[in-house]
Amino acid sequence: MRAMLLAAGRGERMGTLTATQPKPLLTIGDRALIEHHIVRLAASGIDELVINLSYRGSEIRKRLGDGGRFGVSIEYSEEGEPPLETGGGIVHALPLLGREPFLLVNSDLYTDFDFRVLIEGPRVPTLVLVPNPPHHVRGDFGFEDGFVTASPPLSTYAGIAVFDPQWFAVLAPGRRPLKPVLDAAIARRELQGLKFSGLWLDVGTPERLEEARALAAGS
């Protein structure tokens, strides 16, 4: 199974922190955000990674290289400016992702989620859901009988999922969000759900970056 790490966005809510470096390279402890995921993916047995690039992408490429020092192989999907959003970014990366289900991970997460839960099973399209954090109390999706639904009560999409590349192969290239693709899969009852209540933090602001650093220092 291949994994795609989303690393193209600027992270504008980070303010001056991302004025001189891309968000995925902000550090927690002795590693960049994206490096935490690469290390955990490698430990889970995934050694083929695709990373999409846009804002200051050359710095990410320079930092990570071909992935050899992490024990993985990295290929890069160059989107140019502006980035293509999540849906468009996946469409653009399809030639690198292959035809089998792939794991998708937002690079701006701090979590102890065990990726093996998704890669050692049947590898069906699955969305990981977490309890709604204070900054997103409305949630995103419901969950019933093992499937993701549009009905409340709603949980938050964790930025971790297994997707079928065929969902995206029928879409035209260009900028597009991910949610319409998920909504269509939910309507077809093709998207399973997995609840996760462990360590998970969306590192989307300077305050949450500091929170993640405090958690890492205390672990």
Q: Which long-range CB contacts under 8 A does 60-67 form with residues at least 24 apart?
A: 60/7, 60/22, 60/24, 60/25, 60/34, 63/25, 63/32, 64/34, 64/35, 64/38, 67/38
Question: What CA–CA distance (Å, rounded) separates 217 from 53?
Answer: 29
Pick the CATH number of 3-218 from 3.40.190.10, 3.80.10.10, 3.90.550.10, 3.40.50.720: 3.90.550.10
Q: Is 188 helix (H, G, I), strand (E, B) or coil?
A: coil
Give the pLDDT score at 122: 82
Give the pLDDT score at 218: 83
Question: What CA–CA distance (Å, rounded) separates 160 from 74?
Answer: 19
Phi-psi region for residue 77, left (φ > 0), alpha (ψ -120 to 50) or beta? beta
Q: Is 163 helix (H, G, I), strand (E, B) or coil?
A: strand
Q: 71-110 pLDDT, tens per residue?
A: 999 999 999 999 999 999 999 999 999 999 999 999 999 9
- Is residue 53 a contact partner of residue 15, using CB atoms and an 8 Å limit? no
Q: Is 47 helix (H, G, I), strand (E, B) or coil?
A: coil
Give the pLDDT score at 174: 97
Give the pLDDT score at 121: 81
Q: 24-52 pLDDT, tens per residue?
A: 999 999 999 999 999 999 999 999 999 99
- Is residue 33 a contact partner of residue 24, using CB atoms and an 8 Å limit? yes
Sequence-ordered alpha helix ranges (H) in 57-159? 57-64, 85-97, 116-119
The domain ranges of the chain are 3-218
The pTM assigned to this predicted structure is 0.96
Q: Is the pLDDT of residue 219 over 70?
A: no
Q: 100-157 pLDDT, tens per residue?
A: 999 999 999 999 999 999 998 889 999 999 999 999 999 999 999 999 999 999 999 9
Question: What CA–CA distance (Å, rounded) separates 156 from 86?
Answer: 16
Give the pLDDT score at 39: 98
